[in-house]
Amino acid sequence: METSIIVAGFGGQGVLFAGKLLAYTGMDEGKQVTWFPSYGPEMRGGTAHCTVIVSDEPIGAPLVAEPDIVLALNLPSFDKYEPRVKPGGTLVVNSSIVLKESQRDDIQIVTVPANDVAEQ
């Protein structure tokens, strides 16, 4: 089984850290893992995303066209990656700052007030 995940948001939101946690968790479970970060030159506030693939089998390439799971931490990430979630996949949305709702009925939508929880 192979699961592909994209974590996306602004720099400073923990995007790359979240991806690393997912990758390390997969490694701890004895899975094959790739972690592929992408970010702009800005330290904070710029765009950032990473792709994580966790698999029982060797992974051919770290790139993903249709992820199984997307964690969208801001509106630009929601707009970019929501259409790409594989049918039957899951979109996790930071409802603290993403007020837009998905119109798709072929994916599972999970809302988490991530900023609000982090501030507690």
In the chain, the number of structural domains is 1
pLDDT of residue 47: 81
pLDDT of residue 23: 97
- Does the pLDDT at position 44 exceed 80? no
Report CA-CA distances (Å) from 44 to 9, 14, 16, 104, 105: 11, 10, 12, 31, 34
- The domain in which residue 97 lies consists of 2-119
* Strand-strand pairing, 47-55 and 32-39: antiparallel
At 58, which CATH number? Answer: 3.40.920.10
Closest CA to 16 of 1, 99, 93, 43: 43
pLDDT of residue 64: 93
Q: What is the mean pLDDT of residues 11-38?
A: 95
pLDDT band at 43 (very low <50, low <70, confident <90, very high): low
pTM: 0.92
The neighbouring-strand residues paired with 33 are 54
pLDDT band at 12 (very low <50, low <70, confident <90, very high): confident
